[in-house]
Amino acid sequence: LQPNLETQKKQVTAWCDLVLAYHKHHKIYTLDVKEAVSSPIFNNSKIQRKLSEEEVTKILDALSAK
């Protein structure tokens, strides 16, 4: 996530929208926080990039606050 707070807020909002759309599309109704880090939505093995556990937690916290 971006260090600039304003940019980070927008980025977290975009991640929340993406997570909701992904789960709706795949008809997934629960999300295990421990497994989320290795989930395809947060882990792209093709380009070897993934969000850290801290970043995933921040996104999920924002999502649960909605």
The pTM score is 0.85
- Dump pLDDT digits (tens) for 44-66: 999 999 999 999 999 999 999 98
pLDDT in tens, 3-53: 899 999 999 999 999 999 999 999 999 988 888 988 999 999 999 999 999
The residues facing 43 across adjacent strands are: 50
Q: Which amino acid is at 58?
A: K
- Structural domains of the chain in order of their starting residue, each with its CATH number: 5-65 (1.10.10.570)
Q: Give the closest residue to 18 by CA, choosing from 40, 2, 34, 33.
A: 40
